[in-house]
């Protein structure tokens, strides 16, 4: 009986262990597809067409993470494909992210832009505490770690990076380091002003002698 009581006490103490439960937060990502269709009045893009495309691309998020497919349904649509690629490049979407094809299906439209983007899903965390469970069974609770996963999902700048990794572009590297360099290296104007103040101080001290 004494041994049985000791085993029960050991089990209860093990259930109340202070060791943290290791569970890596997971962020779910889903692909989102948006389309914009154009009915062209001529063989060139008008100002309203360009403005609509720029607004549409801007609303899709970070341009470097987008994938664009251009479907042309007529000769006018095929003729404006190079202009569309140039317009997308000016908006931050490089030609390597763009694919084009001629659709043989008949349509009243001339060209359709299909943009694929990604977004992270923010999990819904249950408020409050769950009922008491015996022997540390809270490890299996779906609400455990939900706050961390929710915070990480909202902080992800480019959700596509969680699915397909990419190399850091040289421009992005310079952008990341430039602020650190600016902090540790004073600007040329401040150096010139400091040297000028030092010269004035030396001249004043010499004049005083």
Residues 17-23 have a mean pLDDT of 51
Pairwise CA distance, residues 82 & 80, whole Å: 6
Mean pLDDT of 108-114: 90
Its pTM surpasses 0.75? no
Report the relative pairing of strands 28-38 and 98-102 from DSSP bridges.
unpaired
Task: Output the pLDDT for position 169.
Answer: 60
Q: How many CB atoms lie within 10 A of CB 21?
A: 11
pLDDT at position 4 is 67
* Residue, of 183 and 85, whose pLDDT is higher: 85
How far is C-alpha 99 from the geometric centre of its chain's CA atoms?
A: 22
Are 67 and 113 within 8 A, CB to CB?
no
Average the pLDDT over each of 41-50, 58-67, 73-82, 167-176 and give the range with the smallest value: 167-176
Three-point CA angle 18, 20, 26, nearest 5° = 160
pLDDT score, position 18: 47
Under DSSP, is residue 149 helix (H, G, I), strand (E, B) or coil?
helix
Q: What is the Cα–Cα distance from 3 to 67, expressed in whole angstroms?
A: 67
Supply the pLDDT for residue 209.
46
Confidence band for 35, pLDDT divided at 50, 70 and 90:
very high
Q: Which residue has the higher pLDDT, 204 or 125?
A: 125
Domains present along the chain, CATH in parentheses: 25-126+135-185 (3.30.1330)
Residue 145 has pLDDT above 70, yes or no: yes
Instruction: Give DSSP secondary structure letters for 25-38.
Output: ---EEEEEEEEEEE
Mean pLDDT of the chain: 75
Give, as one character, the DSSP assignment of residue 140: G
Query: Minimum mean pLDDT among 7-11, 81-85, 120-124: which range?
Result: 7-11
Which residues does 88 contact at the CB level (< 8 Å), separation at least 6? 53, 57, 68, 95, 97, 98
């Amino acid at each position: 009986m004494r041994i049985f009581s000791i085993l029960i006490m050991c089990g209860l103490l093990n259930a109340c262990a202070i060791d943290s439960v290791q569970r890596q937060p997971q962020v779910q990502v889903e692909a989102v597809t948006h389309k914009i269709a154009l009915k062209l009045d001529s063989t060139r893009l008008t100002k309203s067409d360009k403005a609509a495309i720029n607004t549409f691309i801007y609303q899709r998020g970070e341009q470097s993470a987008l994938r664009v497919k251009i479907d042309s349904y007529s000769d006018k649509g095929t003729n404006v494909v190079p202009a569309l690629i140039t317009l997308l490049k000016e908006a931050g979407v490089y030609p390597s992210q763009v694919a084009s094809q001629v659709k043989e299906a008949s349509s009243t439209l001339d060209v359709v832009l299909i943009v694929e983007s990604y977004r992270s899903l923010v999990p819904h965390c249950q408020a409050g505490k769950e009922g008491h469970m015996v022997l540390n069974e809270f490890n299996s609770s779906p609400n455990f770690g939900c706050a961390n996963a929710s915070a990480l999902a909202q902080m992800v700048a480019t959700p596509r990076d969680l699915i397909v990794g990419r190399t850091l572009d040289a421009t992005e590297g310079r952008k990341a380091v430039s602020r650190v360099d600016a902090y540790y290296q004073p600007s040329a104007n401040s150096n010139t002003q400091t040297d000028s103040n030092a010269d004035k101080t030396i001249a004043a001290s010499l004049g005083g002698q």
